[in-house]
Structure 1
Amino acid sequence: MLRLAAPLALALALGSTAANAAPSPFRDFFSMFEQQAVPRQVVAFNGRYAPGTVVVSTSQRRLYYVLGNGQAVQYGVGVGREGFAWSGAKTVTMKKEWPDWRPPSQMLKRRPDLPRYMAGGSDNPLGSRALYLGSSLYRIHGSNEPETIGAAVSSGCIRMTNRDVQDLYDRVRVGTKVVVIR
């Protein structure tokens, strides 16, 4: 019986995402890549951060949701590429499911081929969920390019698999502190 208790506790800590999966027919496509990403898991975490804090290590390409008692949920993430990496503290000011996307003017200057607006959905680069960070242009969001998780490829946003960002979205509240370290 003890052997079943630990996996059950871990499953409860990590949460079930079956109800939040991407709409069909994309579910199988996303799952194929998400299985290759760093697995979400509860890990030992020795930091000075309060439970509920989100800590992103851009050098490790990991995001930690601090549980307390020396533990955190660890996720693999994609981070800002050379020239777009940043660090500091922000606050989650808004949360959106299947968010619309309007590329910032700075991005449009670099990439005039981008659309000016994309409705939320499986083709949208923000993926299934987005956590908006203060008044900055940065977000923690899902991705329609899950193969980029673990890489430095974004314009400064923190990318997660859609499955992982849905799990984090359910844990995080507006007002949550997000600390990005290098």
Structure 2
Amino acid sequence: MAHSPLSRRRLLVCGTATLFTPAILQAQSVSPTPNRRNTSSFVTQDWRDHFDTLGKAAIVADTTSRALHFWSGDGQTYKMYPTSVPRSDELTKRGYTQIVRKRVGPDWTPTQSMIERNPELKYMPPGPGNPLGTHAMYLTWPAYLIHGTHDTRKIGRLSSDGCIGLYNHMIEALFEIAPIGTQVRIL
């Protein structure tokens, strides 16, 4: 009887080793890159930890868990949305502000610091290429917004130049329920 170079036992051992090799290598590697998960690790927030009253409404944008929390002024509505957050601490403005203006179909003009980093950036009218998506809510801080994005890969990631970004369908829903004067805290 001829001996087959590929026995059933050898095939089973090689197949099992092949299946587990990526997991073993991944477990042994240490990556210096930040976590790449998109919409996990939400941390529950309570508005009372951040505001004395709900006022017209309240928003807490948690840059650590990458989630935006909304409470209506009567306390009956609570929503949580996954967000994109600033790429670095230098671009992150933290503290208290409020919504002062809202716009459907916002246009976009890059800030001076954005142009310094990338001189090819130019004004963009509303539309599919616009980084502000379909809706924008402007804060008392100049150039800081809560807005949508057409690039859904950005949600859940460190990807903005300072703004808080949401999926377009989620910013549209938030836009409808968050009145001008909504208090905002960015953590």
Matching of residue 53 in structure 1 with residue 58 in structure 2? yes
Alignment correspondent of 2:127: 121
Deviates further, 44-53 or 58-67: 44-53
- Given candidates 171, 180, 185, the residue that maps to 1:179 is 185
Tell me how large the CA RMSD over aligned residues is.
2.2
- Given candidates 99, 104, 129, the residue that maps to 2:106 is 99
- Cα distance in 1, alignment partners of residues 141 and 178 from structure 2: 18
Flag as ranges the 4+ runs of structure 1 deviating above 6 A: none
Decide whether aligned partners of structure 1 residues 164 and 138 sit closer, same or farther in structure 2, where only a CA change above 3 A counts: same
- Cα distance in 2, alignment partners of residues 45 and 80 from structure 1: 20
Structure 1 letter corresponding to 2:58: T
- 1:72, distance to aligned residue in structure 2 (A): 2.2
The gaps in structure 2 that reach 5 residues or longer are: 1-37
Q: What is the TM-score when the length of structure 2 is the normalising length?
A: 0.69
Matching of residue 157 in structure 1 with residue 163 in structure 2? yes
- 1:47, distance to aligned residue in structure 2 (A): 3.0
Aligned-pair identity (%): 31
Alignment correspondent of 1:133: 139
Bigger Cα Rg? 2
Decide whether aligned partners of structure 1 residues 69 and 124 sit closer, same or farther in structure 2, where only a CA change above 3 A counts: closer
Alignment correspondent of 1:63: 68
Partner SS, residue 86 of structure 1: coil
Q: What is the TM-score when the length of structure 1 is the normalising length?
A: 0.71
| Conservation of the 8 A alpha-carbon contact between 2:147 and 2:166 | yes
Partner SS, residue 142 of structure 1: strand
Partner SS, residue 113 of structure 2: helix
